[in-house]
Amino acid sequence: MNGRIAGPRARREPRGFWITFCAGFFYPIAWLAGRSRFEGRRHIPAEGGALIVANHISHLDPIFTGLQVERSRRVPRFMAKHSLWSTPVLGQALAGSGQIPVYRKSADAQQSLRDATVALNDGKVVIIYPEGTITRDPHGWPMQSRTGVARLALSADVPVIPTVHWGTRAVLDAYSKKFRPLPRKPITVRCGEPVDLSGYRDRPVDAALLREVTDLLMGRVRALLAEVRGEPAPAEFFRRGAA
């Protein structure tokens, strides 16, 4: 597994115009959204590829995941739904900063994973939200996730870093349609220890392996979230369509 752990004197990865523009735009938004704590950045390598595997509780999450990576002096590359590329200005920023469009339920669906694998092998930091959408668990725990994260994690020998957000849903809750920026609320973003997948890499890639690795990765995310929340996590993942 490649990568050098970031230190206080680590060189910043070249950002380019659009990443610099987005950083200047989103830092003030993050400050206005809440009192942020960015923890565990030492787990993001100073160079080389890395896969950030994160929970998803609010539309604000990408801002804070991106700033966590940017504060580690790296450039975040998100896997995001392709329809965002048609949004004025945002679409230009996504294309210009090397983000990765995700095509669901189409002939191009596998191209997203191939593009992300190329980015990882090229030494980029890629961010994925394996749930595919904001969790529908009423208590904010991760849902059962799609297995694309396992296929991606096994496709490149890079650190796989569980990452969680907590507090963003208290500011912006997509399902209740509530936006409550005031009073400013505590928001935590924390990266955990990279997950060791060495015992899985030589096994044949089939549906059973992909489900096992997906549940392992999201189990680490869930455990990390329990640490941040200071409460026990549920034993099972919430399933889509559950009442």
* pLDDT tens-digit series, residues 125-163: 999 999 989 999 999 999 999 999 999 999 999 999 999
Nearest in space to 69 (alpha carbons), one of 34, 26, 112, 32: 26
Residue 22 confidence class, pLDDT cut points 50, 70, 90: confident
Q: Where are the domains of the chain?
A: 16-229
What gap in Å lies between CA 243 and CA 238, rounded to an integer?
10
**Contact call for residues 135 and 238 (beta carbons, < 8 A):** yes
Q: Where does the pLDDT of residue 87 fall: very low under 50, low under 70, confident under 90, or very high at 90 and above?
A: confident
Q: Are strands 125-128 and 76-81 parallel, antiparallel or unpaired?
A: parallel
Sequence-separated (6 or more) residues with CB below 8 Å from residue 84? 90, 91, 94, 101
- Could you give the 3-state DSSP secondary structure of residue 110? helix
The whole-number pLDDT of residue 242 equals 61
Please name the residues in contact with 9: beta carbons below 8 A apart, sequence gap of 6 or more. Answer: none
Residue 100 in tokens: 């990765």
> Of 3.40.1130.10, 1.10.645.10, 1.10.357.10, 3.40.50.10680, which CATH number belongs to 16-229?
3.40.1130.10
pLDDT at position 82:
78
- Going from the C-alpha of 86 to that of each of 31, 32, 83, 101, the distances in angstroms are 28, 27, 6, 11
For the segment 90-102, the average pLDDT, to the nearest whole number, is 82
Please report the pLDDT score of residue 10 as a whole number: 66
For residues 190 and 176, which has the higher predicted lDDT (pLDDT)? 190
Q: Are 153 and 36 in contact (CB under 8 A)?
A: no
The CA angle 178-59-101, to the nearest 5 degrees, is: 150
Give this prediction's pTM.
Answer: 0.90
